[in-house]
Structure 1
Amino acid sequence: MHLESITTPFGRRPLTRAQLKHQATANSVAGSQIVDKWKVFRHIAEARSKLGLQDRALAVLNALLSFLPGTDMDPKAPLVVFPSNEQLSLRAHGVCARTLRRSIASLVEAGLICRNDSPNGKRYAHRSRSGEIECAYGFDLRPMALRATEFAEMAAKIVDEAMRLKRTKEAITICRRDLRKLLQFYIDETRSEELVAISLRLDEILAHLPRQATAANLEASLRALEALRSQLLNSLNNIEKPVNTSANEGQDDRHKEESESESYIERRTENPCGEGTQAQLHTNTLQQTVVKGSRISLDVILKTCPKIHECSPARPLRDLISLSHACEIARVVLGIDKEQYLRCVRLSGELTANILVCIVYQRQEQIRSPGAYFCELLKLLISNRLDAEQLLLSMLKRSYTTAQVKPVPSEQPIAVSHQLLKLCSRGARAGSTEEKRMVRISTTN
């Protein structure tokens, strides 16, 4: 740090290292280019986050620049302004004296202005007989003119960073929209477990997106989303790949053809009751909806935990995909942590996680904290001390036992008709008349 000339503050204000550094930097900059003061001010306003300036400090700086005549700033010319605190406060939109002093101190610390204090601390100027200013005491604005190029580069970097952040957010929004739409359509169409796993991975990536992030952090998330989209497109290409079948004799496959019988009697015999057959087909579909390696079907889950229908009022639960959507709603209602749910899916599978959610939702009236109860079930499941399917079957058995044996309470009121009450009252009157007759006969004897 090379110092040629230095100005120190008046009174009890101490000299700081930042003031020495900025004055040395201003003296070392070799620049004689005339700049527009309002362009420099706009660059400073764009780079205020790096300079550590508040909006009130910018208002005070704008007021100081308004006291400088003209719009050009020549570093070789004296650029000292000497307004009073009252006039400076009026041009700074009426800030109070304390805010004015604090803003001026922040401008000095940022190296935008320098104090050129008089011997008594007042701001004034000495003029010649012709009226020209020979010496002025106040605020020197030369650092702004000398560092104009630095402020312009700083503002350009901040603008580029903001544009980069904006475009990264737009790309994340588009990528997330594409993934959501494709997954929502193809999961309902194909019911593929691979697509469900991709959907869970998407939820995990989006859950870790920070609310206030830099472009570098968001670019990492964008790369993960793009890789997930490529994986999804590869899976969809495999799903949409056509299967070529033909009836040529040279090939091994056979040509299958089904046609309805022309006989009305045969059609009536094959399908005697259309509605009943459709209902039976629907029941068979529910009973056959079983994951490989599992003893539990969707019908068993719905019979054991019928309350889960409350989470799917729009459409009935006919398959495991709709059950997963209903369990997701139930998880939010119960307050179960999403990370714990995803952990259960990774360790034991989606069906086991959905069974646990259905059990907790069915017994929510008996559980004080459903989220903590789910975590405890997960711990028992990890330590191999709990079998979710066996727990579900035991609940089903207990519900059947409770439904067959219904104890009648001892104090249950019995419904009595009005005619029965009349007969009872007539019998009571006849009994009293017979007793009186017997009393008279006994006294006569």
Structure 2
Amino acid sequence: MSEITPVASFRRVTPAIVASSRLAMTNDVPDTAKGDVAVLLKQAAPILGIDGTTYHVMDILLGLSRPEDWKGTGRPIVAVSNAKLAEYTMRSERTVIRCIRRLVEAGIAAYRDSPTGRRFVYRDTGGGIIAGFGIDFTPARVRFAEIKEKVAAYRARLAAETEARRDVARLARAMEDLCDAFPEDAEDLRSRVQGADLTASGILDKAESYRSLYADALERIQARNEENKMAAEGDINVRANTYINSESSFACKDKGPRCNERTYLLERNVAAPMAVEAPPGTKALALQNRSPRPSSANIQTQVLGSVSIGLLQSACPEAQSMIGERFDTWSALDRSGEMLRRMIGLSEGGWMDGRRRVGAYAAAAILATVLEKSLRDPEQISKPGGYFRAMVDRAAEGKLNLERSLFGLVEGKYAV
């Protein structure tokens, strides 16, 4: 088979498309397995800017490729028409064309166009490709090691950002405690914290500034305590002899203004509730009609009351495989939240709002469920971020049955 990758004249060629074509013409192609490349590309989707329908199109194209084409000198070419992809994804052909273009410009696929623009593959009796025209995933094979390094760096950065956020929250509370304990340093410390918030270029820089400020504050306070201790050496400890003379009520009456003020305040505190007290019937009716809003802790208990971490781990194998983590503890699930929310394209604001409304563990469990469902059936969940918000709304209303969804995933564990 010819290793020349032509691009049809009707396409608007960009530098990224040319770069992908050059990768597809490379003869030094590493030996890879289809499953390994597919999992890696899904993990790298946030890095490559692949989401939504583009992710769905990529998943379909990878599924249509043959495993033997990914080995040796094979070229994983997929010959499927835009009309068929539009039918699979329930999108228009123009949308499919734009999605394929994004995959090519991302550097994981290349155009291999025939003179007529049709896509087809001719194979020999052994299944090898004699001639093929379509979407060529050779660039993904060539860049396998590079993309793998980028995914590892991406995960390390996410872990560092998560740790930095924890440090910022912890040190912010610690410095506020220092301000309460040492009021003379409060104004200066708060102004320095505010300055760090304004000048920090990111969460990592902010965490480093907070660590430096906290260490400096502790050092200054310790140095001042040492100076005070040295200044107090040689002083004589004198115990104050305080004589308290309890005055009688008659003496208090004779004292005048100060006792009268105390008596007035006491009488006002006792009389004030009596003055605004509502009739008994009205008060009972108000208590009966009032429906307190459940807290996030109560909602989390209700959502996860019958859900174990083992059930969640069994129900979400593909989600764990994609992010490279295991949901063996609730803390591990919570730590994976940042990676999970990026995999479905959920904004940071939507993720924080979900954690605030239903609790950290319940939000992470819902997020893992949404990702698992979207991986198994992308057609069913075209917008995972909106699906997550809808599940959070149902949980807040007490209508979410997460246990049933997880058992459904366990029963269809190996469904495509």
TM value normalised by structure 2: 0.52
What is the CA deviation profile of residues 334-387 of structure 1, one whole-angstrom value per residue up to 9, with x for unaligned ones? xxxxxxxxxxxxxxxxxxxxxxxxxxxxxxxxxxxxxxxxxxxxxxxxxxxxxx
**Structure 2 residue aligned with 1:96, among 92, 96, 104?**
92
**Structure 1 residue aligned with 2:252, among 256, 270, 273?**
273
**Distance across 2 between alignment mates of 1:275 and 1:8:** 108
**Distance across 2 between alignment mates of 1:156 and 1:10:** 36
**Distance across 1 between alignment mates of 2:188 and 2:195:** 11
Letter matched to residue 13 of structure 1:
R
**Structure 2 residue aligned with 1:230, among 195, 212, 218?**
218
1:8–1:15 CA contact under 8 A, matched in 2: no
Question: Residue 205 of structure 2 aligns with which residue?
Answer: 217
Asked if 1:198 corresponds to 2:189, the answer is yes
Question: Residue 141 of structure 2 aligns with which residue?
Answer: 145
**Distance across 1 between alignment mates of 2:176 and 2:214:** 13
Quote how far apart the aligned CAs of 1:152 are.
0.5
For residues 66-85 of structure 1, what are the structure 2 equivalents within 5 Å? 66-70=63-67, 73-85=70-82
Aligned with 1:134: secondary structure? strand
1:8–1:115 CA contact under 8 A, matched in 2: yes
1:29–1:146 CA contact under 8 A, matched in 2: no
Structure 2: gaps spanning 5 or more residues: 263-416
Question: Residue 438 of structure 1 aligns with which residue?
Answer: none
What is the CA deviation profile of residues 258-293 of structure 1, one whole-angstrom value per residue up to 9, with x for unaligned ones? 2539xx9xx769x9539959949x99xxxxxxxxxx
Instruction: Work out the number of aligned pairs and report it.
Output: 259
1:195–1:232 CA contact under 8 A, matched in 2: no
**Distance across 1 between alignment mates of 2:91 and 2:224:** 63
1:172–1:225 CA contact under 8 A, matched in 2: no
**Same amino acid, percent of matched pairs:** 21
Distance 1:277 1:39, change over 3 A: farther
Aligned with 2:132: secondary structure? strand
For residues 378-393 of structure 1, what are the structure 2 equivalents within 5 Å? none
Quote how far apart the aligned CAs of 1:145 are.
1.6
For residues 285-300 of structure 1, what are the structure 2 equivalents within 5 Å? none
What is the CA deviation profile of residues 58-81 of structure 1, one whole-angstrom value per residue up to 9, with x for unaligned ones? 221111011113488215113111
Letter matched to residue 188 of structure 2:
A
1:116–1:137 CA contact under 8 A, matched in 2: yes
**Distance across 2 between alignment mates of 1:82 and 1:173:** 52
**Distance across 2 between alignment mates of 1:238 and 1:277:** 48
Quote how far apart the aligned CAs of 1:57 are.
1.8
**Structure 1 residue aligned with 2:38, among 41, 52, 55?**
41
**Distance across 1 between alignment mates of 2:247 and 2:127:** 118
Distance 1:50 1:243, change over 3 A: same
What is the CA deviation profile of residues 112-146 of structure 1, one whole-angstrom value per residue up to 9, with x for unaligned ones? 11111112111122355788653221111121122
**Distance across 1 between alignment mates of 2:157 and 2:212:** 21
What is the CA deviation profile of residues 126-169 of structure 1, one whole-angstrom value per residue up to 9, with x for unaligned ones? 35578865322111112112211111111111111111111111
RCO higher in 1 or 2 (8 Å CA, sep ≥ 6)?
Answer: 2
Question: Residue 258 of structure 1 aligns with which residue?
Answer: 241
Letter matched to residue 80 of structure 2:
P
1:175–1:229 CA contact under 8 A, matched in 2: no
Aligned with 2:131: secondary structure? strand
**Distance across 2 between alignment mates of 1:201 and 1:274:** 53
For residues 176-187 of structure 1, what are the structure 2 equivalents within 5 Å? 176-184=172-180, 186=181
**Distance across 1 between alignment mates of 2:27 and 2:177:** 57
Distance 1:215 1:240, change over 3 A: same
Question: Residue 331 of structure 1 aligns with which residue?
Answer: none
Letter matched to residue 195 of structure 1:
A
For residues 115-130 of structure 1, what are the structure 2 equivalents within 5 Å? 115-128=111-124
Aligned with 2:122: secondary structure? strand
- Higher deviation after alignment, 58-67 or 71-80: 71-80
2:31–2:72 CA contact under 8 A, matched in 1: yes
TM value normalised by structure 1: 0.49
Aligned with 1:9: secondary structure? coil
Aligned with 1:273: secondary structure? helix
Question: Residue 30 of structure 1 aligns with which residue?
Answer: 28
Question: Residue 52 of structure 2 aligns with which residue?
Answer: 55
2:196–2:206 CA contact under 8 A, matched in 1: no
1:40–1:151 CA contact under 8 A, matched in 2: no
**Structure 1 residue aligned with 2:160, among 152, 155, 164?**
164
Letter matched to residue 169 of structure 2:
T
What is the CA deviation profile of residues 286-328 of structure 1, one whole-angstrom value per residue up to 9, with x for unaligned ones? xxxxxxxxxxxxxxxxxxxxxxxxxxxxxxxxxxxxxxxxxxx
Structure 1: gaps spanning 5 or more residues: 246-250, 284-445
**Distance across 2 between alignment mates of 1:198 and 1:278:** 42
Distance 1:73 1:132, change over 3 A: closer
**Distance across 2 between alignment mates of 1:275 and 1:135:** 114
2:77–2:132 CA contact under 8 A, matched in 1: yes
Asked if 1:19 corresponds to 2:7, the answer is no
Quote how far apart the aligned CAs of 1:171 are.
0.7
Aligned with 1:139: secondary structure? strand
1:80–1:138 CA contact under 8 A, matched in 2: yes
1:44–1:155 CA contact under 8 A, matched in 2: no
1:164–1:215 CA contact under 8 A, matched in 2: no
2:66–2:76 CA contact under 8 A, matched in 1: no
Aligned with 2:206: secondary structure? helix
